[in-house]
Structure 1
Amino acid sequence: MDSDGDSNESTNTNPRMEDDEPDLDEKYPNRPRNHSSTLPFHVLFQSLFNPLSEIKKKPAGAGPGPARKKVGPHGLSSANLNPVEKRRDVIERFISRWRTAVGDDIYPAFRLILPDKDRDRAMYGIKEKAIGKLLIRIMKIDKNSEDALNLLNWKLPGQTTTSSMAGDFAGRCYEVLSKRPMRTEVGDMTIEDVNEKLDQLSAASKEDQQLQILMEFYRRMNPEELMWLIRIILRQMKVGATERTFFDVWHPDAENLYSTSSSLRRVCWELHDPNIRLEAEDRGITLMQCFQPQLAQFQMHSLDRMVSRMKPTEDDPVFWIEEKLDGERMQLHMMSNDSVPGRRTFRFWSRKAKDYTYLYGNGIYDENGALTRYLKDAFADGVESLILDGEMITWDTEQDAIAPFGTLKTAAISEQRNPYSSTTRPLFRIFDILYLNGRDLTRYTLRDRRNALQKTIKPVHRRFEIHSYEEATGKTEVEEALRRVVEEASEGLVIKNPRSPYRLNERHDDWMKVKPEYMTEFGESLDVIVIGGYYGSGHRGGSLSSFLCGLRVDDTHSSQGGAATKCYSFCKVGGGFTAADYANIRHHTDGKWHEWNPKKPPTTYIELAGGDAQHERPDMWIKPEDSVVLCVKAASVAVSDMFRIGLTLRFPRFKRLRMDKDWKSALSVQEFLDLKANAEQERKEKEFNVDNSRKKRAKRDTKKPLVIAGNNANAEAQYVEPSGHIFDGLNFYITTDSNAPVKKSKAELEQLVKANGGKFFQTNHAAPNTICVADRRTVKAASLQKSGNVDIIRPSWILDCIRQNEIDGGLPNFLLPLEPRHIFFATEDKKEEIASSVDRFQDSYARNTTSDELREILKQMGKDDPFDISQHPEVARKLIERIQEKVNAGWEMPSGWLFKGLTILFAENDQVDDTESEETTQAHQPYRLHLARNTARFAGANVVNSPKSLSVTHIVVAPTSTSSDISSIRKSYSPESGKKVPHLVTVEWIEECWKQHTLLDEEGFQPPRGA
């Protein structure tokens, strides 16, 4: 996802937070009041939506026809207005009619006109397919009928529907509804009626509730009304006029207020009089009030042109380069609680103004917060309030890298439930500060704001960090950075003008995206075969808009041998096509497409990944000999189990149609693998080093420094570590910073080496026996790794050596042996030596283990134990038989096998509840029962907490159990219950069996029978 992007939530996960009427009156004391009821709903589309749609369809200069010969706002006939003026004319006449017939409160209408901007109504939790299923039930049509299939498969061309409606779900609904309308004339529902029902729909959580609401709409609306209602529910109006046009016609300050508040209600209620302008203090951002963030401009084709747009000057030619993160744009608001010292209140909003506070936390002590619980010490002294702009990403602690965007919500929920132990977590990367201690900073330059940010935030490792940037003066640095992000499979770059202010709700040249897929300098052009197609939506509806492409299987890879007979799926291509390209492909493949049948896939011609799962299954398929060859370009090759090759292209884009080639001359699997290997070899040989002769430009002091209370602006952060001699005579080449166990920059690591007797160099060839250090796969690290003859260690080895040296009292030249956790890459000769330095649980033989490491080691001890015979049932059976033979011959039963094969439930009174955790259950048990439980587990029993387990052989009754408790347990295991009746015994049975080293007869240890 783009750094200025936002997730497309289809479910209503955020609790609805609506103000009740008294609170609204208090918050908006001057809110407008309508003198009459709202207009009928059909007026909206008859006088607004339909006219705007007609203007959208007609080319510039085309007149609206005889029915539209009305006078515009400037006394001109509507026929003489351009499309922009026509749109304004339609909107002005609707607003004028509303003011006259209803009043000044246009909020009820704007909620339906601009449904995607209405933040006061929660998401409905239904999309096209769910609505289609509900309509099928409402109209009582056979789910296998043509109309039902057309609704459920709305992207495909229908059997009896017009092709223009394919890809337009609301239009497809109109076609089906028109055949069986409840009413043909427009209905009697007012705009207020529709709003009330939509409020109910947004609160409905069950399908039957949604069905009843849509049923009432069906009874009271005609098909055209229902079509527009569905577009409102889906928040996909597309009438040809943006919210900016509506806002501009409504009030000259409307767009500004929406940018700073994201509140459609405020725009309608505070700016109902066009003659009353917004006060100066209301034009800026406000704490605890969501605003519309600045967005990055789309990329230009020329890097030279992009750099020139950064407005460099002779005195200050610098611009900034940031990595573009694959997460969700997020703004964080924080304010201190005056009544409770140390308490802070947090709010989180996405770019689309969705409130995520429920997920990330509203305070430091919010137990449900996936992030805020870690921010107690994240702010400098004196910081009372602030607004931060950044990106929420998912961090994978095992890979120590950013995880894909789609895992963000899952990671946050996992962090809520299992704090400190989840392998993925939300990480907030901050790249701007916009408000600090009551002051709006948006008018300050980016450089000033970044200086304030550095003094305000105390980063929390891998939870709350300041996003880094590098300074540049020309396109060479951009190209180098872009090569790096391509190598590391990152999202792209954002270049920023450090002299620029923050522009709310704008795309501006001050921030510009640079994505690998747009660049012509990188990647390979590949000739691939079209083997499948996918139907599009919207203006691409009803036709194939993207294509599944494959590589032909050569003799080596063909499972059948001989000449190639099929293609393996390789990539999906949907970008870069023009209308002429689509027409050309249709012309050459017309009549040759077949519908994909999942039950009978065309494996003779096409092979997908996933076996029966059929990953990336297309809507239509075509034989390779009937198809066309596309030339595509991509940023890089990526590993993927979604395609049969096991690899795919990252950011593939169509370049041209290769009519000079047939499918037999297109790229084969082996040719692609050879091409990939050659490209990697060339990349290794090509130097990507930045010119180190040009020193990094020193950062300028801000002209108007922002001083934070309690912060000494002149204090320099010093890195103090004890000096030593453990690295005497060693040479280091450090290529990256340290990510774990602590964050340290490359410069800090180099100073640590120097302080402890070592030397560091900027290349591995500068000194003999140089130790190469890296913690992530950069271009330099990758180049070293691909050479295959260099061991690369992680910075953690340096830190561990220093730490162990301090513990041992400064032994001279004591270097720890390398452990697997210290290795970024090792040669084959080194791997065996490294593995011998730890035990099978990765516990070091030479180094003191930290508490965090010990916790992880203990966790691993329960996993994949090679000595756990439960993993080898046949071995276990024979071993038990052998032990039993020995016991029968007079041997004593081994203590660890005494209760082997038994499943025991410990019941304390009637509190056996499978919803309780084991810790909770044990906390309430008497000590005697607790000891018996541990004894049973040690002696090989399978101890369970739930009476629902069907394998229970014994139930041990607590000493405090009453006769009614025992009677209840017996009844639950009566023959009528269908469960196998286990032995019911007292705790003495466990104790005596253990004491006598044998299983005793349960008859002598039964609890007394209850009434």
Structure 2
Amino acid sequence: MKLIPISAAMMAVSATVPFTHLCTMLEGVDRAKGKDNKKKIFKEFLDKWREFHNSVHKDDPNTEDSFYPAMRLILPQCERERIAYGIKEFTLAKYYIEILGLAKDSPDALKLLKYRAPSHAKGEAGDFAAVAYFVLKNRCPEKGSLTIQEVNDLLDSIATNNAAKNKEEVRRSILKLLRSTSAMEQKWLIRMIMKELKMGMNQAGVFAVFHPDAEDLFNVTNSLAKVCIDLRDPRVRLNEIAISLFSPFKPMLGQRIPLDGVEKEMHHEMFYIETKFDGERMLLHKDGDTYKYFSRSGKDYTHQFGAHPLEGSLTPYIHNCFASHVKSCILDGEMVGYNPQTKAIMSKGDKFDIKNMAEDSDLQTMYCVFDILLLNGQKFANSPLRERVDYLDKLFTPIEGRLLLGDRKDARTKAEVIDALNEAIDRREEGLVIKYPGSKYAPDKRKGSGWLKVKPEYVDGLMDQVDVVIVGGYFGKGRRSHMISHFLCAVAVQPNTPGEKPALFHTFCRVGSGYTLKELYQMGQRLHPHWRVFDKKKPPKTNILFPSGYKEAPDVWIDPEQSLVVQIKAAEIIESDKFKTGCTLRFPRLEKVRDDKEWSDCMTLDELDDMRKNAEGKLASRHAGIDDSGEPSKKKRRTVVRVEKPITVAPQFKAADTSKVQQVSAIFEDREFCIINGPPEHGKADLERKVVAYGGTVVQAPGPDTSCVLAHKVNVRVNNIISGGKYDVVKADWLLRCWEAKQCLPWLPSHMIHMSPDTAAQFALEFDRHGDSFTDDATVDSLKEVFEKIGEEKSSSKVSSEGIAEMEEKYFPNESPLGLFRLCRLYVDNCHVIGDQSTRIKDCPLDLVALEVRFHGATVSPILDSDVTHVLFHTSDLSRLDEVKALRRQRTKKHHLVTPGWVYDCIQTGAILTERDYEPHSSTDST
């Protein structure tokens, strides 16, 4: 690395390293074959930088100068400190054309503007930086004169002035970059501005070469500057660096694990058992009279707890508790609420927020300490836990209700863990934390940290479940959009008369977890026919009671008689004014649908009150045990005492009681009906009573005198009747129309679910195949019905793309340009997938391309299924390219990967071009 001479005033390494050296390194990485060779080239550049840095700053070990100026150019996609440039390829192309003085229709200008088109960009189509290199190579100096620092300054200027909409300053900065850099440097500059280097070495690979803890620190801080400054010495590990006074960091976490895995995780050695407090994890930083408090997520709550001894809800009470030798320290602990009247630590479920507690609250703030990370400038992250806890006893004097030293006891077996857990259950505590004495403190680490957490809800059989009935639903978002994803549940009011079914229900809780998408879909299918819209302004008259103001009002509601009983597991019962019961569940999780229970068998208000009283709201009311083999005992099913019910006919087959129905009309005289089911607002029994009131008779099974079978929806029984072919099956809607008209209306084709042979022959003489009468005048309603039927027939008569293509070839050879993509099925990559949710990109540039391919005959698939022939990417966002390539390798039927340039060039030439020339490449692809 040849360096520019420096003066004493210019000590930043980036101000001495030419930008061309960085670009030469990137060019070498890009051309190298294999990950190891790429990493070797980058490491050589990094080692020279560090060597020079050490020689320059040997007298200043605390310098802030670091590899950051180069790293922010190597990993531009990770840069958070610099404002976005707001520049894309087309905008940059216009700047280049203007600065270079190119005619807009010149070949070079067209190459820049239409860099995706092979006809203009040739072999580099789709890569704007590579296209620009060929345009600029004869117009730029052979070697640039800028340093890395100067390039960063100009890029900062572009970003700042672009945000301020100062186009002239943006133009000046780009002009200076253009005049002072070579074409090769310009190529990499463009990729830095586009935040995609395409050098075949990804973010993880760069971090791994820089420092073994670099990626971990970046995941915690999201700051390249902090990574480069804190980890500039590769010999110093992260757990010490991340911990510094008055600087937030994420604390070490406990791993969830079953009871029978504790001994193995503790290496079959002695371990600590600590109480798991139900509060807010908080890190206390102290330096003399100055304090700071940071939450688990790094948020500063010093304003609440106090920065100095004379302010806040905690600092004034604990400042004098520290030993005289304690000048500075960092403590890890839990901030909890303490009731001085009952001398009890409160639970977060007791309706208070320790982070925002009012001064006049009956509770007071208490800090429970269980670890120390720094004392008087000495860090303990690399010290084992057994050494760290020795300092705690000499650190401060505990004070009741304000500062507590967490309890800790030694153990060796899971039996001791089970005993401790049972004691925690009896004391209504949240659970336990198991810690390995030799564990070092690793910020933000959970798995393999040596810390385990055990709660009653993690152990089968310890939690009381509640069986509640679903009475409402809420529409979901993301992958759960267009479906009910959360459920409102209720408990029943105990009837006064024994044996009666409940008539009233009180809303109790809302649950939205515990089931897979498949299970959610299955529940939705079962409940879908019975959902009704819930209007908060005009609430329906129902037997479901809500609190005043209709808090937690659902989007849809369901009659409990048509609903499901579900079993829910939760941590505890807490007070809440959002539900009619005045309480709800904390952390509810749906375990299963109780198909063995009827809607009337759900929990009652009395049972809920008993459960709250017995365990003070906690649902962990049973103890864990050990079976004969020495393992934690499995869950024992609760014996449910059931009342013996006489064998009887199922409700759907029972006839309505019509003994008290008075006849009001004779429109159905001498007519016999068999009613299978009815619409939600007029059930089977209601329809039967109406038929009798209008002079008809009702049977439960069709016979020789039955006029017709009536049904609202087709079920198994209706299908059996249809398969017999003897009876006309008429929609229940016809019956409702007869009631409205006060007369027995003639059947129309739109009324029929199924026609007997005689009725079908008669209709053929009176109506055409669309149901339009040959003799009667058309009405608005009849025309609507005919048009709806025609629309249904069109949608049901599916013609394949292959069939359409054959017809075009047969009847319109060489004359059907709009069928160019007829045999193509495209998936358009216009969604970001985050976790288990899919979010559509707003105003995605691919939307217009999708319309174009559909206009020319293609089918656009909403999902990437096995029938997709092409996947369309936009070059500005290739974040999902590697994932789609991996999927292609797994499938027998391969799909092509293309960019919009392929679409437009195919249209322009009138033929399907070779897709390989248009395949996008990600930054992880090796050359």
Looking at CA atoms only, which structure, 1 or 2, has the larger radius of gyration? 2
**TM-score with structure 2 length normalisation?**
0.44
Q: What TM-score do the two structures reach when normalised by structure 1? A: 0.41
